[in-house]
A and B are shown apart, each in its own frame.
Chain A
Amino acid sequence: MSGGVVVGGWEYVWMAYGLTSLAFLIYGVTLITRIREERLRASMDGNRE
């Protein structure tokens, strides 16, 4: 901070953007994994019937 103005701060900007992208990416991957598992289980349930 210099004279009421924030100086620099790019590290905080990258931290916020990095965390957001990483969270969306990890959540997206877990969703794809989970839906594949559920589809497989549903097809196995169908075969059993």
Chain B
Amino acid sequence: MEIPSVATSRTPYVFLAIGVLCLLAGSYAGLAVAPAEQYMGNVQRIMYVHVPTAWNWMLAILFSFGSAIVFLFKNDLKWDNRLEGGLEVGTLLAFLLCCQGAIWAKPTWGVWWDWDPRLTTTAVLLFASLGILALRKFVEDPVKRAIWSSVATIIASIDLPIVYYSVKWWNSLHQQQSSPSTVSSQFHLPLRLNAFGVLFLMIGFIMIRTRIAAYRMQHELAAPPLAIGEEAGELA
């Protein structure tokens, strides 16, 4: 199997910079410009970070799923590096999603956590992602590691459509999905700015994390240097 090369362009840092600028503008619009919601008041402003995190978490899991499929078809380890990048950033976003949701739940539902289908299925995917990342730490053979984590990622991704449709299938505590078509037009600007902000940040993070994985793989697959004894034996 070919050792993947490592990209060295500055593109991920450009994505990070654009992401930070969008998030600063979106947070200003969400905290200082947009009006408070009629029933939830100021607490609804959490939506401007919670919903973009949710959308981009789903994209990160889809990216990992796609990378797993492509790796299994092409046997190219660069897709395993991409899977690792997508999965780690997806795990960060899932963790943030659960924390932001808990913070929003306390003043509106009266509890930090509820075993509601949306929350439960999201937590299942968070722990599945953590499990796959742990699995990758324990398997030393890069090819076996890539195959096993691709299969595990594909199995875990089955939960993603269940997360998405859980609020439609079960009439539970969690509200239906928020999107520009379901919220007031006054909330559109901060929601869109933060959605693009998290998107650019996520792309930058995944690109850098993929490069780290590629460097590690290069080190693992590189031929070990000759031992002094072997070298001397060859010379003699």
State the A residues within 8 Å of B (CB).
Answer: 1, 4-10, 12-13, 15-17, 19-20, 23-24, 27-28, 31-32, 34-35, 38-39, 41-42, 45, 48-49
Contact = CB atoms under 8 A, between A and B. Distances in A.
A27 B92 contact: yes
A38 B43 contact: no
Given A35-B211, A41-B215, A16 B42 contact: no
Given A20-B53, A28-B16, A38-B215, A6 B222 contact: no
Nearest to A20: B49
Interface of B: 6, 16, 27, 31, 38-43, 45-46, 49-50, 53, 92, 95-96, 99-100, 103-104, 106-108, 201, 205, 208-209, 211-212, 215-216, 218-219, 222, 225
Given A6-B108, A12-B106, A17 B27 contact: yes
A13 B34 CA distance: 14
A24 B42 CA distance: 23
Contacts of B218: 42, 45
B44 to A, nearest CB: 8
A35 B204 CA distance: 13
A38 B212 CA distance: 7
Contact of B42 (A1, A13, A31, A42): A13
B107 A6 contact: yes
B46 A12 contact: yes
A40 to B, nearest CB: 10
Contacts of A15: 103
Contact of A12 (B6, B92, B104, B222): B104
Contact of B43 (A4, A6, A19, A24): A6
